[in-house]
Amino acid sequence: MKKILKFYKAPKTSKILEPQILPPFFYIVNSIIYLQETRKQNIDEIMGTKYQILDNLQNYMQYFNSNIEETINIIDTTKSDLKNNIIYDIDKNYWKISKNINLSPIKIVVKKYQEINTYFHLNFPILSSSNQFLKDNYSFFPTNTLISCDLQTNGRGRMNRNWYTEDKKNITMSLLIKNDKQNKISDDKIPNLSLLTGASLLKTINKTLDDNNKNIKCFIKWPNDILINDKKVCGILLESISSKHINDIIIGIGINVNTTFFNDELNNKATSLKQILNKDININNIISSFIHYFDELYNDFIHNGNIYLDIIKQNNYLKGKTVSINNEIGIVIDILDNGNLLIQTKDGNKEIFYGEVTLTNSYIQG
């Protein structure tokens, strides 16, 4: 069987070599039939569990067929003493784990979507922040990697606001877009990824509403919120990874899916799909639907298309409303072709390319 993964190996020698590890993860891979032959030469058994040492996720993930889902156990070596407990077996010619180490792996689920482009979705049981996780580890993931978690303990939105979640009830996820030569995005168009994501989420949520025979629509509040019945159901946070110049982008997304409780601060400003539809919604279906719509719009976007802008303009929540933004008060006229907001003030029309939008009625802040 052709070797699919790249493993850490040492040349045959009589000297014990120090493992060249680890970029930040040590991966423990449970039974996967595609790797059985490879495993015979690159495993060690401890307490009945088989282990492999992989250099990064890219080598592991590429072998998946479309929509195949696998579970991987991982250990974060930055938070353990694993480096001192991984040794090279000269006789068997592979790395192995010392039998005296106590392992507490985290189970994650990996899934591959083959749309126009290829996407990898990794779901963790818990993260402090999916955006921060990608910031810390983006170099070990291919572009179009989507990180999600069942519970996020320290999530945040724009202006460093907290983003509250309940375990396994909502969607908190972050998508990595590597701005490489093949899919180069000009600096002036990068902020529009927030609008593109908003258009993708609008199509996703409207599909969910339609599938459940709910005759209502959601709208986009420039630049980063999705609203239903004047209440926020979804938020977007766009962050760049490089501090010197924008290289890679992380798109953070939070969707209120099955939660029914909001604190006093959010109760009048937020809603969930369950509250709208009076039933539990399948989270995986929403994620796969989002990937589908995002990929369609993103592929059009990188080829200089503007389908996402048409969607934004047709579903512009702010149009005709009086807003306060960047110390300016005015009536929103439209969203321009460059993605900026056009407002009419007492001093004439003004083009806004960033800012915190405040409304005087219904949904209060963005």
pLDDT at 110: 86
Sequential DSSP letters for 6-60: -B----S-SSPPPP---SSEEEEE---GGGHHHHHHS-EEETTEEE--BS-HHHH
pLDDT at 34: 29
Average pLDDT over residues 278-289: 96
Average pLDDT over residues 282-287: 96
pTM for this model (two decimals): 0.80
Residues 35 and 63: their CA atoms lie apart, in Å, by 10
Residues 86 and 258: their CA atoms lie apart, in Å, by 43
132 has pLDDT over 50: yes
Q: Alpha helices, DSSP H only, in the chain?
A: 36-41, 57-61, 130-137, 192-211, 273-277, 283-302, 307-314
pLDDT at 139: 77
- Asked which of 18-27, 151-160, 272-281 is least confident by mean pLDDT, the reply is 18-27
Quote the DSSP letter at residue 65: P
Average pLDDT over residues 300-319: 95
Which range, 86-95, 164-173, 184-193, 278-287, has the best average confidence (pLDDT)?
A: 278-287
Average pLDDT over residues 299-317: 95
**Residue 33 phi, psi (nearest 5):** -60, -30
- Nearest alpha-carbon partner for 273 in 227, 312, 318, 332: 227
- Asked which of 226-235, 264-273, 312-321 is least confident by mean pLDDT, the reply is 264-273
Q: 214-264: per-residue pLDDT in tens?
A: 889 899 999 999 999 999 999 999 998 875 556 799 999 999 999 998 887
CA angle 161, 225, 163 (to 5 degrees): 30
Higher-pLDDT residue of 233 and 41 is: 233
Q: What is the mean pLDDT of the chain?
A: 77
**Residue 329 phi, psi (nearest 5):** -115, 130
Q: Which helix (H) or strand (E) holds 150?
A: strand 145-152
State what percent of residues in the chain have pLDDT above 70. Answer: 66
- Asked which of 2-6, 195-199, 275-279, 281-285 is least confident by mean pLDDT, the reply is 2-6
Residues 320 and 222: their CA atoms lie apart, in Å, by 13
pLDDT at 59: 62
22 has pLDDT over 70: no
Count the neighbouring beta carbons within 10 Å of the beta carbon of residue 141. 21
Please answer whether residues 86 and 98 qualify as being in contact, where contact means their C-beta atoms are separated by less than 8 angstroms. yes
pLDDT at 94: 53
Residues 345 and 321: their CA atoms lie apart, in Å, by 12
Residues 73 and 86: their CA atoms lie apart, in Å, by 17
- Asked which of 53-57, 70-74, 180-184, 252-256 is least confident by mean pLDDT, the reply is 53-57
Domains of the chain: 1-106 (no CATH), 115-313 (3.30.930.10), 319-359 (2.30.30.100)
Count the neighbouring beta carbons within 10 Å of the beta carbon of residue 34. 15
CA angle 238, 305, 139 (to 5 degrees): 40
Average pLDDT over residues 202-209: 96
State what percent of residues in the chain have pLDDT above 90. Answer: 43
pLDDT at 90: 62
